[in-house]
A and B are shown apart, each in its own frame.
Chain A
């Protein structure tokens, strides 16, 4: 992790370095044997996973995640799949709230726009609801994302006028307006309490929503995992780029950002567009994961859930967004397991206290506990563990 400039490098390391890298301007300098953490080029320093443990760790997580469907029951896999999808939305919200510092309660609206745009694109032109019959999966996934991004671009100008709490309230209005449109536009959404069918993903001739050699849950889980990995990589790239720095500058000091040459309006627009794009993709996959989805799902509660994922996971981190989303997605399952440990909790909905009440209570307490004790979220806890083991056995 340590970055040492050439003029500061200790003698021994200098000699070894010269052996390691013949040309200082070489595109990829070789690592010095036994000193894996010494960077010899800016390229290494700027890499997304800039240490060997990070590379191996992420590889291990992705491999385990990819193999999970072989050892996990289908109902748990469905929950995990939903978690993967929610992660995409959480990453999107984190770009807007965490990186760019624009508090938005309107995330559910963009999630809904993505969901309905994609199902309209993929829908049967002869069917009961609006449909254009596009059956190429990447096209309607991108289409849903782009539709949400356009909605984001239309909303963004508000953010150039308002900030903080005021922006949060205005975006809250967006959810209300969206809820009305989704419920009343029956051609698109199927109407309240009814809902339309989700688009059917067909990939390489295999219907992902029909059990074949692999079950529906397994196939969908893999689809979601692939989209999440792509989303996470894109988001990390944005975060470390010129755009990510400009977003952080707008968040930290907007006056100074302007004086540095960062166009405030432009970058707030970019933040909204990127965030809504991820929200849209999340929405349409959420639709696919659930099969049927009524318009009453895209409400303030969903927005608040996304805010909770970002806060619990870790503000302005991609990995934190994923951790937060997975935790929120697993929460119903965790509370469903509770009656076997705590006999006074019942799983019957008409008795109290039941698991549904407990779930909401856990959910609220998590937000309070994290804001009070670990504002950096799960990511902060992870950083603390990492730092502890880095200096083990020395506690300071």
Chain B
């Protein structure tokens, strides 16, 4: 796994540039239940920013706030210097925020091509009457964007499945189609919600390659939520650790691994009572192994 991925490149020199996304002191409550509180971070151009934390820590809630599915009670989100919070999901998508979902949310009855074409929905420009007539403009636009979609098909190696309804595809391929659909949006910021959840080693390595290719070739900023610590530590430029909706720490993978508070969050203990905090040279897989023991 480790050997499959190159060292991160974006983080070091990206620090001086303006952040793509700024999240400031966001709070989200459902009634009396606080899902996330006091979350602040920014994502720099070309950066892969990872969010980790135990189950129920509020990672997916952050994604839902960014993509407009939930509205935060407090806080500010800015994309490229302009306010993002309060906008509808479709408007946020037009601003260039794309996402994948933890539990695949593809349009099951549509083919792979149609799913990817839906990713391009906002780029395809013609109206309902033009669609009914299917003359000049509509057809030209469809051809143009079909070409763009086929490039994504090639990029992700989906050619064998393009005409199949996605509901019939194996899980790993569906995950890839979902990534493709997000890429078809030509996003400025890509939110990946557990891209390798439930995948075997080969599928995980494939996905890791796609993610590093996306950053290398397309230069898209990404936020990734993932439980596979090996993948996070290898790919991410910076990592934010959440616990019970509150950020524990943010830093480079190496810094985060050494932080005793992170281990406490995963082991569920109080910092003072954690019997043996991992030594500074503990490997990510050791931390992950420990973490898995606690999680159901």
A contacts, CB < 8 Å to B: 3, 5, 7-8, 42-43, 46, 48, 234, 237-238, 240-246, 248-249, 251-253, 255-264, 270, 274, 316
The interface residues of chain A lying within 8 Å CB-to-CB of B185 are 260-261
Could you pull out 24 A-B pairs where Cβ atoms are within 8 angstroms?
Answer: A5-B154, A42-B143, A42-B147, A234-B132, A234-B133, A237-B132, A237-B134, A237-B138, A238-B131, A242-B124, A242-B126, A242-B141, A243-B131, A245-B110, A245-B118, A252-B110, A253-B108, A258-B93, A259-B92, A260-B93, A260-B119, A260-B122, A260-B185, A262-B121
5 smallest beta-carbon distances between A and B, as pairs: A241-B131, A261-B93, A258-B89, A261-B122, A256-B105
Task: Report the bound CA distance from A370 to B225 in whole Å.
Answer: 44
B90 within 8 A of A: yes
Q: In the complex, what residues of B have CB within 8 A of residue A263's CB? A: 88, 90
Q: Which residues of A contact B143 (CB under 8 A)?
A: 42-43, 46
- Interface 1/0 per residue, B42-73 and A, CB below 8 Å: 00000000000000000000000001110000
Q: Across the interface, do A245 and B114 meet the contact criterion of CB distance under 8 Å?
A: yes
Answer yes or no: B271 CB below 8 A from chain A CBs: no
Q: Does B142 contact A (CB under 8 A)?
A: yes
Bound-state CA distance A261–B93 (Å) is 5
**Candidates A3, A8, A261, A264; contact of B121 at CB < 8 Å:** A261
Report the Cα distance A262→B118, complex, angstroms.
8
From known contacts A43-B143, A237-B132, A263-B90, infer whether A258 and B105 are also in contact, taking CB-CB under 8 Å: no
Report the nearest A residue to B117, measured CB to CB.
A245
Give complex CA distance A139, B153 in Å: 46
Report B's interface with A, CB cutoff 8 A: 67-69, 88-90, 92-94, 98-99, 101, 105-110, 114, 117-119, 121-122, 124, 126, 128, 131-134, 138-139, 141-143, 146-147, 150, 153-154, 159-160, 162-163, 181, 185
Given contacts A3-B163, A257-B107, A264-B90, 16 further A-B contacts (CB under 8 A): A42-B150, A242-B117, A243-B128, A245-B114, A245-B118, A249-B107, A249-B118, A249-B121, A252-B110, A258-B88, A258-B89, A259-B68, A259-B93, A261-B90, A262-B90, A274-B128
Q: Distance in Å from the Cβ of B178 to the closest Cβ of chain A?
A: 9
A46-B146, A242-B131 given; A255·B88 CB < 8 A? no
**What are the residues of chain A within 8 A of B109 when measuring CB–CB?**
248, 251-252, 316
Among A244, A245, A253, chain B packs the most CB atoms within 10 A around the CB of A245
Q: Are A3 and B162 in contact, with the CB atoms below 8 A?
A: yes
A252-B67 CB under 8 A given contacts A42-B147, A262-B121: no
List of B residues within 8 angstroms of A43 by Cβ: 139, 143
**Residue from A244, A255, A264 in contact with B105 in the complex, judged by beta carbons closer than 8 Å:** A255
A264 to B220 CA separation, bound complex (whole angstroms): 27
Could you tell me if B121 and A260 are in contact, using CB atoms closer than 8 angstroms? yes
Dominant secondary structure of chain B at its interface with chain A: helix
B128 & A259 in contact (Cβ 8 Å cutoff): no
Q: Which residues of B contact A253 (CB under 8 A)?
A: 105-108
Central interface residue in B101, B118, B126, by most chain A CB within 10 Å: B118
CB distance from A330 to the nearest CB of B (A): 29
Chain B neighbourhood of A238, CB < 8 A: 128, 131-132
A244 to B185, CA, bound (A): 18
Say which residue of B69, B101, B131, B181 sits within 8 Å of A258 (CB atoms). Answer: B69
Our pick among B69, B108, B121, B150 for the contact of A255 (Cβ within 8 Å) is B69
> How distant is the Cα of A242 from the Cα of B120 in the complex, in angstroms?
9
| Best-surrounded residue of A43, A237, A251, A256 (most CB of chain B within 10 A) | A256
State whether B131 touches A259 (Cβ < 8 A): no
A237 to B138, CA, bound (A): 10
Question: Beyond A245-B121, A252-B108, A255-B105, is A270–B90 a contact (Cβ under 8 Å)?
Answer: no
Q: Are A248 and B128 in contact (CB under 8 A)?
A: no
| Interfacial chain A residues near B126, Cβ < 8 Å | 241-242
Contact B159 A241 (CB under 8 A): no
Distance in Å from the Cβ of B169 to the closest Cβ of chain A? 14
A258 with B110: in contact, given A3-B163, A238-B131, A245-B117 (CB under 8 Å)?
no
- Cα distance A243–B159 when bound, in Å? 25
Across the interface, which residues of B come within 8 angstroms of A237, CB to CB? 131-134, 138
Give CA–CA (A259, B122) in the complex, Å.
11
B142 touches A248 (CB 8 A): no
A3 contacts across to B, CB distance below 8 A: 162-163
Residue of A nearest to B133 (CB): A237
A274 CB contacts on chain B under 8 angstroms: 128
| Cα A259 to Cα B99 with chains together (Å) | 7
Q: Which B residues are in CB contact (< 8 Å) with A7?
A: 154, 159
B63 to chain A, nearest CB (A): 10
Inter-chain contact A5/B159, CB cutoff 8 Å? yes
Which residues in B have their C-beta under 8 angstroms from that of A249?
Answer: 107, 110, 118, 121
Given A42-B147, A46-B143, A248 and B69 touching (CB < 8 A)?
Answer: no
Q: In the assembled complex, which residues on chain A have CB atoms less than 8 Å from the CB atom of B131?
A: 237-238, 241-244
